[in-house]
Amino acid sequence: MTVDGKITTRNFSPVDFTSREDKLHLFRKRALADAVLIGHSTLRRDNVRLGLPKTDLSKARTARDQTPYPIRVIVSNEGKIDNQLTIFQTDISPILIFSTARMPRKFQAALREKATLHLTKSRHVDLVAMLEKLRSEYNVHTVACEGGPTLFRALLERSLIDQLNLTIAPYMFGGANAPTLTGLSKEFLPASVHCGLIDMRVVGEECFLTYRIKHPRRRSK
Ligand SMILES: NC(=O)c1ccc[n+]([C@@H]2O[C@H](COP(=O)([O-])OP(=O)(O)OC[C@H]3O[C@@H](n4cnc5c(N)ncnc54)[C@H](OP(=O)(O)O)[C@@H]3O)[C@@H](O)[C@H]2O)c1
């Protein structure tokens, strides 16, 4: 995010405001996870593949008894996901889509050729049920969520985030209509979330922060 807390501009256009080091940092974190999770808007706007650029990251995964690439997981309530997006052009790892029965039949048919669909009859994806399924059916123990802010906020509201990796980049965007980490919602979070700073690293003009999210009602492991 920028110094003034923005994660994109008001147009939600794909913005590239962090360094090569930050991109490597993202890939290193992604490489540690069993699954990488992304919201539909971020997938559509940034058109990411969710792979790993360097073979040594894949090799390290294999040495840790992980698959070469994390499972790729997309969440969408409406399910109108374009099957021509870049992610569907690569078969490096399975793609799972958690959505609802609201997904139009035409999209279901097209997406089934490239991904496994998990559609709930409810109007909204149940994130707890999704994580339980990832664990029980796909042996996923660590999930790296790469946003965007709407998805991040939904996970945060349900106390489903353990750790936040945050890079502060040396820019300010301003603008009430440019989202922050928790999106554009004017609503407060149900309760303020206490973050414990566990690491801070400065590289060039960027600051790499790691926070442990403290869950008051959850017993610590
Ligand atoms: N600076 C950064 O590090 C960073 C990181 C990530 C994203 N971004 C930026 O963030 C912007 C997108 O923001 P956003 O808030 O719209 O992103 P988002 O959270 O990726 O997308 C929102 C959409 O994802 C689906 N979704 C989110 N939460 C869900 C839930 N709990 N259950 C079911 N579906 C859910 C819904 O899709 P449907 O509408 O299909 O139902 C929702 O409309 C982009 O401009 C992107 O570049 C920046």
Tens digit of pLDDT for each residue in 48-83?
999 999 779 999 999 999 999 999 999 999 999 999
Domain membership of residue 5 (yes or no) is no
Atom index in ligand 1 nearest the CA of residue 155 equals 31
Domain membership of residue 10 (yes or no) is no
Mean pLDDT of the region 128-136:
98
Domain membership of residue 219 (yes or no) is no
Domain membership of residue 3 (yes or no) is no
pLDDT confidence tier of residue 215, bands split at 50, 70 and 90: confident
Mean pLDDT of the region 105-119:
98
CATH number at residue 86: 3.40.430.10
pLDDT value for 221: 47
Nearest CA to ligand 1 atom 37: 76
Range of the domain at 143: 20-214
CA 40 to centroid of ligand 1, rounded, Å: 6
Residue 138 has pLDDT above 90, yes or no: yes
pLDDT confidence tier of residue 136, bands split at 50, 70 and 90: very high
100 ligand 1 Cβ < 6 A: no
- The 3-state secondary structure of the chain reads CECCCCCCCCCCCCCCCCCHHHHHHHHHHHHHCCEEEEEHHHHHHHCCCCCCCCHHHHHHHHHCCCCCCCEEEEECCCCCCCCCCHHHHCCCCCEEEEEECCCCHHHHHHHHCCCEEEEECCCCCCHHHHHHHHHHHHCCCCEEECCCHHHHHHHHHCCCCCEEEEEEECCCCCCCCCCECCECCCCCCCCCCEEEEEEEEEECCEEEEEEEEECCCCCCC
Domain membership of residue 118 (yes or no) is yes
Domain membership of residue 15 (yes or no) is no
Please state, rounded to an integer, the average pLDDT across all residues of the chain.
Answer: 95
Residue 219 has pLDDT above 60, yes or no: no
Residue 171 has pLDDT above 50, yes or no: yes
pLDDT value for 217: 65
pLDDT value for 185: 87
34 ligand 1 Cβ < 6 A: no
pLDDT value for 55: 79
pLDDT value for 129: 98
75 ligand 1 Cβ < 6 A: yes
Domain membership of residue 4 (yes or no) is no
Residue 218 has pLDDT above 70, yes or no: no
5 ligand 1 Cβ < 6 A: no
Atom index in ligand 1 nearest the CA of residue 12 equals 45
Mean pLDDT of the region 194-202:
98
Domain count along the chain? 1
Domain membership of residue 208 (yes or no) is yes
160 ligand 1 Cβ < 6 A: no
